[in-house]
Structure 1
Amino acid sequence: MTSPATASHRIRVGSAPDSWGVWFPEDPLQVPWERFLDEVAEAGYPWIELGPYGYLPTDPARLADETGRRGLSVSAGTVFTGLHRGPEVWDATWRQVADVAELTRAMGAEHLVVIPSFWRDDRTGAVLEERTLTPAQWRTLARQTERLGREVRERYGLKIVVHPHADTHIDTEENVTRFLDATDADLVSLCLDTGHYAYCGGDSVELIETYGERIGYLHLKQVDPAILAEVVAKEVPFGPAVGRGVMCEPPAGVPALEPVLAAARRLDVDLFAIVEQDMYPCPPDKPLPIARRTRRFLRSCGA
Structure 2
Amino acid sequence: MIKIANAPCSWGALEFDLDKKSEEIGYAQVLDEIQETGYLGTELGDWGYMPTDPKRLREEISKRGLELLGAFVPVALTDENQHKKGIESAIQVARLMSMAGYDKAFIVLADDNASVPERTINAGRISSEMGLDTEQWSIFARGAEEIARSVKKAYGIRTVFHHHCAGYVETPDEIDILMQLTDPNILGLCLDMGHYAFGGGDPVKALKKYKDRIWHVHFKDYDPVAAQESRNIGGDYFDALKRGVFCELGKGNVDFKSVVEILDNMGYEDWIVVEQDILPGMGNPKICAKANREYIKTLGL
State the TM-score, normalized to the length of structure 2.
0.90
Residue type of the alignment partner of 2:89: Q
Distance 2:290 2:250 in 1: 13
Say how many residue pairs are matched. 290
Moved more, 70-79 or 99-108: 99-108
**Structure 1 position 83 matched with structure 2 position 77:** yes
**Structure 1 position 294 matched with structure 2 position 292:** yes
Q: Per-residue deviation at 1:25?
A: 9.1
Cα distance change, pair 124–205 in 1 and its aligned pair in 2 (3 A): closer
Distance 2:167 2:16 in 1: 21
Distance 2:89 2:251 in 1: 36
% identical aligned pairs: 31
Residue type of the alignment partner of 1:98: I
Q: SS where residue 212 of structure 1 aligns?
A: coil
**Structure 1 position 115 matched with structure 2 position 110:** yes
Paired residue for 2:126? Answer: none
User: Which of 63, 78, 88 does residue 69 from structure 1 map onto?
Assistant: 63
Paired residue for 1:150? Answer: 149
Paired residue for 1:136? Answer: 135
Paired residue for 1:49? Answer: 43
Residue type of the alignment partner of 2:70: A
User: Which of 80, 99, 119 does residue 106 from structure 1 map onto?
Assistant: 99
Q: Per-residue deviation at 1:270?
A: 2.8
Q: SS where residue 107 of structure 2 aligns?
A: strand
Q: Per-residue deviation at 1:137?
A: 0.6
**Structure 1 position 191 matched with structure 2 position 187:** no
Q: Is the 8 A contact 1:125 1:236 kept in 2?
A: yes
**Per-residue CA distance 1:144-167 (angstroms, 9 max, x = gap):** 212221111111111111011001
RMSD of equivalent CA atoms: 2.2
4+ residue runs of structure 1 moved beyond 6 angstroms?
Answer: none
**Which residues of structure 1 form unaligned runs of 5+?**
1-8
**Per-residue CA distance 1:43-89 (angstroms, 9 max, x = gap):** 01111000111111111111111111111110001100122222x22
**Which residues of structure 2 form unaligned runs of 5+?**
124-128
Distance 1:243 1:253 in 2: 15
Q: SS where residue 138 of structure 2 aligns?
A: helix
State the TM-score, normalized to the length of structure 1.
0.89
Paired residue for 1:261? Answer: 260
Distance 2:82 2:120 in 1: 24
